[in-house]
């Protein structure tokens, strides 16, 4: 495809072209924010290593019903509405690696930013959330 053909296509389809440009810009901005946030994205294998090697605290931010259907062994269920990084009970956890988990990773990213603002330095997010854990065929524990 030549530049002339691309320009002709864009002029015949302005809404489609603007949508494409908008989505491209949104993806780039999202990636820049993610890379500069200081919050590490980890995969299921790295989460397993962190739990086994460094006794990482896994916080699952999903609804209690979803948590009961299946969660990572040892994870603690905390609702995002009740998630308070300033809570005194979390103070001892500042020394531990903390990994936040949600359904696909979006909510966990928001919670991670709140933890970073509260002074937690070793904060990670399970990239892809619990769905990535399941896709890696790793076990889930049922119940509370």
- Give the residue numbers annotated as catalytic, written as ranges: 102
Q: In whole angstroms, what is the distance from residue 46 CA to residue 42 CA? A: 6
d(CA 44, CA 60): 14
Both tokens assigned to 75: 């994870």
Nearest residue to 42 via CA among 111, 101, 131, 127: 127
Which tokens sit at 5?
A: 């053909």
Q: In sequence order, what are the beta bridge partners of 100?
A: 59, 125
- 143 phi-psi bin (left φ>0, alpha ψ -120 to 50, beta other): left
């Amino acid at each position: 495809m030549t530049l002339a053909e691309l320009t002709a296509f864009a002029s015949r389809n302005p809404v489609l072209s603007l949508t494409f440009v908008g989505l491209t810009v949104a993806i780039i901005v999202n990636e820049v924010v993610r890379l500069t946030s200081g919050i590490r994205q980890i995969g299921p294998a790295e989460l397993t290593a962190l739990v086994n090697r460094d006794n990482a605290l896994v916080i699952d931010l999903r609804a209690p019903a979803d948590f009961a259907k299946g969660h990572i062994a040892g994870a603690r269920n905390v609702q995002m509405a009740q998630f308070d990084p300033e809570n005194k009970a979390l103070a001892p956890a500042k020394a531990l690696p903390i990994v936040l988990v949600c359904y696909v990773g979006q909510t966990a990213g928001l919670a991670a930013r709140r933890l970073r603002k509260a002074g937690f330095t070793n904060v990670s997010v399970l990239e892809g959330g619990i769905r990535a854990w399941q896709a890696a065929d790793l076990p889930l524990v049922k119940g509370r």
